[in-house]
């Protein structure tokens, strides 16, 4: 289901082939080592940039390919389908999330400084929203950016930050005013070589082991006022504008990974025998696979519909939330049923389905939990 869909053309096919070659030559040989280390090699970023796989939506004025977001989707699909969840998450946060904020809210100078380096992989970007104790409640953040002359002084702590160990630039959600709730929150660009910035530990996770996920500390980090991204007090508006894209890309990731789980399980059931015949010949197995194939077909159709609307600039908060909710929950059901069909071997990490199962669990959490998605959808009833 990854290729030959109506939403894709020749350029998408070529990009898909490039992504597949990159995954085979630059990711697969190193992936097991990266999983053990809990982080990828920095060289993956520059090689990804050389291959044209970073920030493809950036225009030629900033050394990008000038594609639309459907190009990002193709890259994410291929990475997710590869089963290499760590590199998928790393690239996606950089290209599909952080880059969007700079494109939408960056000044010409901010764009000139950062976008070409993000396209090349020279600079890795992270976005720091979550804090200890806040989770999905962004209105509860306590990190502050206090104006002091021509600077902001940033003080606070963030956690669960993707690319935290590798990043050169962090988009920090911080309070710049005393207004309660979402008012008084701004986006501040913080370079990680500034005094007072510290990386905490690389967090140990259930899945996506090679995706570095970190604590970050800002101990009076002084940045120029020109590092304000967008307008002061405009963070929540920017987040609400950009989060539909993030949730759509999570939905696309779930589709690619769920499709991979189904495909390897279908093949395995043709090989595994029980009671003298392949388990694929048993009615229970065939019916389970039929259900999963149907769910995948429905998911691809809805995601493609949402992607087309997003490229047209028409994807709303509710639609993106529905896409993220349904696909991530479906993803969980698919990998659970697939693992079951592997029997005891499915519980062994040497089998890919085991890793796919562990990697899938976070899809229902980050980018807004399933519970938050239901709340957002309910507001549109």
The set of catalytic residues is 246
Measured between alpha carbons, how far is 178 from 29 in angstroms, rounded to an integer?
51
What are the strands, taking DSSP E only, across 230-318? Answer: 273-274, 277-278
DSSP 51: T
Q: Output the six-digit token pair for 268.
A: 């395995």
How many angstroms separate the Cα of 365 from the Cα of each of 10, 263, 300, 314?
35, 25, 21, 25
- Between CA 157 and CA 141 the distance in angstroms is 9
Q: How far apart are the first and last CA of the chain?
A: 32
Q: Which two tokens stand for residue 214?
A: 């970190």
Determine contact, residues 43/316, Cβ cutoff 8 Å: no
Pull the structure tokens for residue 322: 């529905």
H or E element that contains 336: helix 317-341
Query: What Å distances lie between residue 183 and 152, 158, 178, 194, 377, CA to CA?
Result: 18, 19, 8, 27, 23
* Residue 82 CB neighbours (<10 A): 21
For 149, phi then psi, to 5°, come to 65, -120
């Amino acid at each position: 289901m990854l290729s030959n869909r109506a939403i894709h053309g020749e350029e998408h096919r070529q990009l898909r082939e490039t992504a597949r070659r990159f995954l085979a030559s630059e990711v697969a040989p190193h992936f097991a080592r990266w999983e053990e280390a809990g982080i990828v090699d920095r060289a993956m970023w520059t090689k990804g940039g050389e291959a044209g796989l970073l920030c493809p939506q950036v225009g030629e004025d900033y050394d990008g390919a000038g594609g639309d977001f459907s190009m990002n989707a193709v890259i994410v699909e291929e990475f997710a389908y590869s089963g290499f969840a760590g590199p998928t998450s790393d690239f996606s946060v950089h290209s599909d999330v952080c880059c969007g904020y700079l494109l939408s809210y960056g000044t010409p100078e901010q764009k000139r400084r950062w976008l070409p380096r993000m396209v090349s992989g020279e600079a890795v970007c992270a976005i720091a929203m979550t804090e200890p104790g806040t989770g999905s409640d962004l209105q509860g953040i306590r990190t502050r950016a206090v104006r002091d002359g021509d600077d902001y002084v940033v003080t606070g702590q963030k956690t669960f930050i993707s690319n935290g160990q590798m990043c050169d630039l962090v988009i920090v959600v911080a309070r710049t005013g005393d207004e309660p709730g979402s008012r008084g929150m701004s986006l501040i660009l913080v370079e990680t070589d500034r005094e007072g910035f510290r990386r905490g530990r690389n967090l140990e996770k259930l899945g996506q082991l090679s995706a570095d996920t970190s604590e970050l500390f800002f101990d009076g980090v002084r940045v120029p006022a020109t590092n304000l991204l967008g307008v002061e007090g405009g963070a929540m508006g920017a987040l609400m504008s950009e989060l539909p894209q993030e949730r759509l890309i999570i939905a696309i990731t779930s589709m690619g990974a769920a499709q991979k789980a189904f495909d390897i399980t279908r093949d395995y059931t043709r090989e595994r025998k029980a009671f003298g015949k392949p388990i694929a010949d048993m009615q229970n197995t065939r019916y389970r696979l039929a259900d999963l194939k149907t769910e995948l077909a429905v998911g691809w159709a809805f995601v493609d519909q949402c992607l087309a609307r997003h490229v047209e600039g028409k994807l709303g908060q509710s639609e993106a939330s529905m896409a993220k909710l349904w696909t991530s929950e479906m993803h969980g059901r698919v990998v659970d049923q697939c693992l079951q069909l592997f029997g005891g071997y499915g519980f062994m990490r040497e089998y890919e389905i085991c890793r796919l199962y562990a990697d899938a669990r976070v899809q229902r959490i980050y980018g807004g939990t399933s519970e938050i998605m239901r709340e957002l959808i309910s507001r549109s009833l």
